[in-house]
């Protein structure tokens, strides 16, 4: 401390500054002169980036969290749901002990699940091996000391971990979050809605909300957010179209579901239309037995990529849409899946004269199949009514009010009656028995479900004079594809929906084949679903799947002709003609009563081979090979010759020149066709 006197400052002297008077304002990235010295200024974005790095501790927590999430995701994907599915299948097999058919079906399901799990693990092991190889390559390069490669590899590894470990920020958009301006600097990439944008969109529709779970990017690149509303989720779901518009999306790109209470909304957002491209049926990729009662039949997929399954129990089904709307493909998915469950008796009534359902007849999968014939359909409804009474008597003896899983085979299976283009049979003036037939259909729709008799109706004329309210109201499962008006949409889905903010199948923009509003009572509501792509005309997929279904049914003793069918017996008694498996020629034309014997079946199958190959003759060896692949795995050429002789086809004959062979022996299509009974 000093005691020297203080000299006051002369206030008349100018104050010294470190910057010249009237100096120009500095510009980012330029240099500014300071008392003879030049100093480069730092751009604001660089300062902000450095601050962000320091605030997040060099992103070390992000990297650690990211690799933990990746490892957990890989492990979860490796296991998936297969152990649980295998355990469920084993439990079903154990419960089926004593029932040979059910036990065989359950055992086949266990083996299928195990095979699927092995294939799934191989795929994931290959993925893990690829990552391990990449890591090993990086470690090798680092060890050898290649700095030009070390630095990019290290940055890539850190970036990958940080990306997957980034946190979500509530109330403001994370500059490093997917969809933010920082991550999408390029023109033409639509920004992902941030938390505030979602709240603003809700407010625009009259909803106030509090964010419970902020906007989060999912592994499939979609986004989810959870909000507590001041109104019910049901009220918000009725305004899904308006919400999609407020968020600059189409309806298929937005989904709303209920959270833990009635006012908590899970909102799902996609940057792309999930229905834009087609998807193959999973049955084409991995055919297998199906438990249609418990697991349902895969018919399509929903907004979130989930497989949509329809249970075959306690519900009638109505599918409607204009020509080329894809309703036929939707029905084909349902039929093919149902064919994989031998407990289901398929009764197919075609609405057109073409061969849309011939594959099911040729394979013997269709218990009944005939082309347009109103009188025969009337006889079929009468047979079903009689059988319903028989089934109800058995249920009464068992002390039950409706079919249960343990009574399916006791009652004779589930009757699935598919009536295609129902307008052919129910439109006013279509035929003399129209009113009587319509009355019987409405009665079956009202009282037959409990007995295990289920209707599937399709129409391109969804009008009340074709599908009366008494008929449509009893169809619990409804699939409305593209129609011409809101009135037609309401005929399928229910009156009052279109025009009041509910689903309207006349407003698809753009319309896509197989896309429709599906009311699935087992899933709890109406939502968009598109049917899987299943083609017969060009790829022959239905025929291939029916071969598999025929084997399942043959092993269970449920192929057409293998069991006493009361429905076909009634039809034979009423008309004198059989439509089992499509009639004697298996083409939807009923013929003389009586089930074909094994020789007739063999000849029919040889004819199928020749027809499918588009030839009028074939040598014995390729014929045997084709029959082995499709129906007779143990067939030898010598045994084939014996069976053909027993069937009345004689021995192989000379065929004339085929390829390089001058005169090989085999069988001719014309000769075999002439052997068929009239």
Kindly report the pTM of this predicted structure: 0.64
State yes or no: pLDDT of 530 exceeds 60.
Answer: yes
How far apart are the C-alpha atoms of 95 and 102, rounded to whole Å? 9
The verdict on whether residue 450 carries a ligand-binding annotation is no
- Looking at the fold, whether 75 and 158 belong to one and the same domain comes out as yes
| pLDDT given at position 10 | 47
**Terminal C-alpha separation, the chain:** 130
Residue 175 lies in a domain: no
pLDDT at residue 52, as a whole number? 63
pLDDT tops 70 at residue 136: no
Annotated binding-site residue? 237: no
Q: So what's the pLDDT on residue 145?
A: 55
Q: Is 452 annotated as a binding residue?
A: no
Q: Report if residue 3 sits inside a domain.
A: no
Instruction: For residue 599, tell me if it sits in a domain.
Output: yes
**Known binder of ligand: residue 328?**
yes
Same domain as 645, residue 508? no
Of 176-180, 439-443, 462-466, 516-520, which range is least confident? 176-180
In a domain, 506, yes or no: yes
Determine which of 27-36, 98-107, 148-157 has the lowest per-residue pLDDT on average: 27-36
Examine the pLDDT at 350 and tell me if it is beyond 70.
yes
Q: Residue 372 sits in a domain of what CATH number?
A: 3.40.50.300
Kindly state the average pLDDT of the residues 73-80.
61
Mean pLDDT confidence for 636-647:
89
Tens digit of each residue's pLDDT (9 = 90 or more) over 553-573: 999 999 998 998 999 999 998
- Considering the domain architecture, whether residues 361 and 496 belong to the same structural domain is answered as yes
Strand partners, 223: 217, 269
Q: Is the same domain home to 221 and 340?
A: no
588 or 86, higher pLDDT = 588
Residues 385 and 488 in one domain: yes
pLDDT at 193 over 90: no
Residue 304 in any domain: the answer is no
Q: Is residue 456 part of a domain?
A: yes
Q: Give me the residues paired with residue 528 across strands.
A: 517
Quote the CA–CA distance of 308 and 298 in Å, as a whole number. 6
CATH of the domain at 259: 3.30.980.40
pLDDT band at 164 (very low <50, low <70, confident <90, very high): low
> Does a structural domain hold residue 441?
yes
pLDDT at 45 over 90: no
Domain boundary among 477, 511, 531: 531
pLDDT at 219: 87
Annotated ligand binding at 324? The verdict is: yes
524 with 597, same domain? no
State residue 31's pLDDT score.
45
Is the same domain home to 385 and 515?
Answer: yes
Domain check: are 466 and 586 in the same one?
no
CB 281 within 8 A of CB 331: no
**DSSP, res 640:** H
From residue 311, give the alpha-carbon distance in Å to each of 308, 454, 490, 556.
10, 11, 23, 21
Instruction: Give residue 230's pLDDT.
Output: 93
In 3D, which of 443, 484, 486, 438 has the Cα closest to residue 460? 484
Report residue 324 as tokens. 């080329």
pLDDT of 149: 57
pLDDT above 50: residue 23: no
Residues 483 and 437 in one domain: yes
* Domain co-membership, 346 together with 462: yes
Q: Are 301 and 252 in contact (CB under 8 A)?
A: no
Q: Domain residues for 221?
A: 195-269
Reply yes or no on whether the pLDDT at 254 is more than 80: yes
Provide the domain count of the chain.
4
Residue 22: pLDDT over 80: no
Residue 189 confidence (pLDDT) above 50: no
**Please, are residues 251 and 528 in contact by the beta-carbon 8 Å criterion?**
yes
Structure letter (DSSP) for residue 147 = H
- Residue 45 domain-assigned? no
Q: Are residues 359 and 483 in the same domain?
A: yes
| Percent of the chain residues past pLDDT 70, beyond the cut | 74
Local confidence band at 492 (pLDDT 50, 70, 90 cut-offs): very high
| Rounded mean pLDDT, 285-298 | 92
pLDDT at 146: 54
State the Cα–Cα distance between residues 144 and 82, nearest whole angstrom.
43
Q: For residues 436 and 515, state if they share a domain.
A: yes
Best CA proximity match to 224, nearest among 232, 214, 233, 236: 214
Rounded percentage of the chain residues whose pLDDT exceeds 90: 50
Q: What is the mean pLDDT of the chain?
A: 82
């Amino acid at each position: 401390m000093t005691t020297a006197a203080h000299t006051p400052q002369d206030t008349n002297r100018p104050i010294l500054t470190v910057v010249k008077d009237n100096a120009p304002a500095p510009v980012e990235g330029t240099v500014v002169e300071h008392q003879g010295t030049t100093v480069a200024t730092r751009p604001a974005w660089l300062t902000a980036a450095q601050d962000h790095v320091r605030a997040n501790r060099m992103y070390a927590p992000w990297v650690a969290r990211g690799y933990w999430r990746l490892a957990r995701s890989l492990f979860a994907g490796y296991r998936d749901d297969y152990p649980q599915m295998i355990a469920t299948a084993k439990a079903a097999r154990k419960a089926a002990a004593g029932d040979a058919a059910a036990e065989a079906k359950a055992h086949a399901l266990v083996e299928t699940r195990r095979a699927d799990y092995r294939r799934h693990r191989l795929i994931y092991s290959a993925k893990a091996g690829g990552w391990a190889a990449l890591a090993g390559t990086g470690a090798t390069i680092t060890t050898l000391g290649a700095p030009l490669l070390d630095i990019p590899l290290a940055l890539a590894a850190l970036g990958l971990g940080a990306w997957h470990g980034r946190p979500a920020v509530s109330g403001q958009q994370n500059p490093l979050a997917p969809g933010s301006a920082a991550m999408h600097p390029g023109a033409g990439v639509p920004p992902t809605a941030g938390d505030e944008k979602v709240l603003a969109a809700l407010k625009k529709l009259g909803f106030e909300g509090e964010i419970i779970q902020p906007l989060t990017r999912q592994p499939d690149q979609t986004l989810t957010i959870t909000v507590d509303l001041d109104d019910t989720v049901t009220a918000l779901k009725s305004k899904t179209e308006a919400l999609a518009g407020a968020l600059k999306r189409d309806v298929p790109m937005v989904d709303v579901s209920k959270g833990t209470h009635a006012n908590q909304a899970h909102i799902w957002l996609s940057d792309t239309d999930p229905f834009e491209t087609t998807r193959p049926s999973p049955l084409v990729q991995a055919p297998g037995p199906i438990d249609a009662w418990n697991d349902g039949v895969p018919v399509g997929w929903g907004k979130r990529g989930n497989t949509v399954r329809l249970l075959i129990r306690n519900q009638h089904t109505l599918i409607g849409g204009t020509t080329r709307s894809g309703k036929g493909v939707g029905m084909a998915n349902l039929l093919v899946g149902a064919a994989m469950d031998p407990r289901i008796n398929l009764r197919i009534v075609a609405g057109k004269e073409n061969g849309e359902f011939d594959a099911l007849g040729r394979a013997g999968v269709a218990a009944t199949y005939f082309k347009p014939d109103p009188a025969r359909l009337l006889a079929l409804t009468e047979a079903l009514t009689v059988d319903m009474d028989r089934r109800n008597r058995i249920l009464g003896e068992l002390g039950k009010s409706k079919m249960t899983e343990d009574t399916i085979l006791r009652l004779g299976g589930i009757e699935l009656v598919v009536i295609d283009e129902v307008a052919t049979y129910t439109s006013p003036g279509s035929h003399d028995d129209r009113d009587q037939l319509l009355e019987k259909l409405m009665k079956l729709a009202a009282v037959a479900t409990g007995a295990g008799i289920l209707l599937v109706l399709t129409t391109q004329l969804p009008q009340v004079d074709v599908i009366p309210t008494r008929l449509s109201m009893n169809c619990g499962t409804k699939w409305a594809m593209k129609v011409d008006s809101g009135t037609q949409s309401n005929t399928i889905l229910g009156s009052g929906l279109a025009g009041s903010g509910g689903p309207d199948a006349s407003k698809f923009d753009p319309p896509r084949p197989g896309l429709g509003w599906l009311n699935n009572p087992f899933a709890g509501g109406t939502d968009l679903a598109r049917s899987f792509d299943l083609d017969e005309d060009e790829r022959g997929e239905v025929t291939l799947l029916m071969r598999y279904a025929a084997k399942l049914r043959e092993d269970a003793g449920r192929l057409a002709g293998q069991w006493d069918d009361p429905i076909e017996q009634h039809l034979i008694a009423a008309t004198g003609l059989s439509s089992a498996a499509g009639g004697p020629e298996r083409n939807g034309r009923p013929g003389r009563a009586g089930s074909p014997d094994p020789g007739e079946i063999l000849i029919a199958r040889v004819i199928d081979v020749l027809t499918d190959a588009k030839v009028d003759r074939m040598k014995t060896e390729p014929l045997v090979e084709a029959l082995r692949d499709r129906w007779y795995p143990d067939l030898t050429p010598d045994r084939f010759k014996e069976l053909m002789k027993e069937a009345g086809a004689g021995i192989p004959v000379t065929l004339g020149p085929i390829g390089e062979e001058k005169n090989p022996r085999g069988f001719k299509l014309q000769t075999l066709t002439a052997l068929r009974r009239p």
